[in-house]
Amino acid sequence: MKEISEILKAHSQAKAAGKKTALATVVKVEGSSYRQPGARMLVTEDGLLTGAISGGCLEGDALRKALLSIHQQQNKLITYNTSNEEDSEVGLQLGCNGIVHILFEYINDEVENNPIQLLQQLELERKDAVVATVFSLKRQAIQQGTVLFYRENQEPIYSSNRTLNILQDAKEALNNKTTLIKKLHDDQENEVLADYINPPVSLVIVGAGNDVQPLVKMTSLLGWEITIGEGRATHATKKRFPEAKNVFVVKPEQLLENIIIDEQTYFVLITHNYKYDLAVLKLLIKINCNYIGILGPKTKLNRMLDDLNNEGIQLTEEKLNIIYGPIGLDLGAETSEEIALSIVAEIKAVMSGKQGTSLKYKTEKIHTATNTSCLI
């Protein structure tokens, strides 16, 4: 969502300045690639790039293709074979060992439900959704482009082309919470990228000390929505945490009153106040969340669990599994910046269902392949 939000902001600025734009989307990958299907980049007619479709190796040529799409006001699909070191079109030895198909869409701001307007729907509500893009790998084929936005319990929003039979694919992607690429039903020419998109991560930091500041800066770079709750009015201020979306001065029992909690919400307890942390922990064990990180030594967590037990509150194994104390991956962190890095790394590992080990020892592919199948 961070990339999409930046693209939407860049488009708004370009539109206000009267500049034309094109949207580049990675719609399919065969083999290895730096970016996966669903990666996007906005290009303005004066060459400004927002987002990324590779690690930088394709952007130069993609800029030229995007400008051509803007000039001709047509959608175009370009294939880059990065496994071929003699690829004269790209002119670089990329070494990614994959084939990347990128769709360039001219953004006509006069057309209702154009690709940008469909992406804008993502920011209207904090729920997961699917954006569907139809493309063809055949030469000279008409490229339909981004044609559908779908969110559960809402009417699907189509572009001008409502005849494509892709709603079922969008529903499947949403139900399985995964991006899909499929051949269209009864259509041998076109495929659909049903891109599953989660809302941004919501990080609730309980505490507003100086050691929270690097944590806020790091997570804001990732596009996470940050909420800070703390009892000290001198510490919990917007001036101290300009990157945070919300900063509250609250008592522990009031902390959750103004927070939307979903599968993308993660909690970090870092107040250095034992009683405050314990009071908040009592609240958190009553809700559904995937991660509660507690700063401090193991003895602190054990004391908290003992105090809860003395009050007749016994945590299930399921609840104990989502509590991480001491917080963070074992990186040898010492400074507040390093500790922040270890916390962010642990949350990301939990989010991805990983152990946080070195990629050096990984025997399979780094990225999970996008689900690709054919329906005939």
14: number of Cβ within 10 Å: 22
* pLDDT at position 371 over 70: no
pLDDT in tens, 146-164: 999 999 989 999 987 666 7
**H helix or E strand, kind and range, residue 228:** strand 225-230
Two tokens, residue 169: 């694919």
Pairwise CA distance, residues 216 & 220, whole Å: 6
Helix residue ranges, H only, 141-182: 167-176
pLDDT in tens, 193-205: 999 999 999 999 9
256: number of Cβ within 10 Å: 18
pTM: 0.82
115: number of Cβ within 10 Å: 29
The long-range contacts involving 248-256, CB below 8 angstroms and separated by at least 24 positions, are 252/276, 252/279, 252/280, 252/283, 253/279, 253/283, 255/204, 255/206, 255/229, 255/280, 255/283, 256/283, 256/287
pLDDT in tens, 23-66: 999 999 887 777 899 999 999 999 999 998 887 778 888 899 99
Strands (E), 257-347: 265-269, 292-294, 323-324
- Place 258 in a pLDDT band, splitting at 50, 70 and 90: confident
Pairwise CA distance, residues 7 & 118, whole Å: 12
Contact 23, 116 (CB under 8 A): yes
Pairwise CA distance, residues 321 & 316, whole Å: 9
Which has the closest alpha carbon to 121: 85, 166, 154, 170?
154
Give all strands of the β-sheet with 191-197 in edge-to-edge order. 157-158, 145-150, 129-135, 191-197, 180-183, 371-373
Spatial neighbors of 120 by CB under 8 A, at least 6 apart, are 8
Two tokens, residue 78: 């370009």
- Place 294 in a pLDDT band, splitting at 50, 70 and 90: very high
Averaged pLDDT for residues 127-137: 94
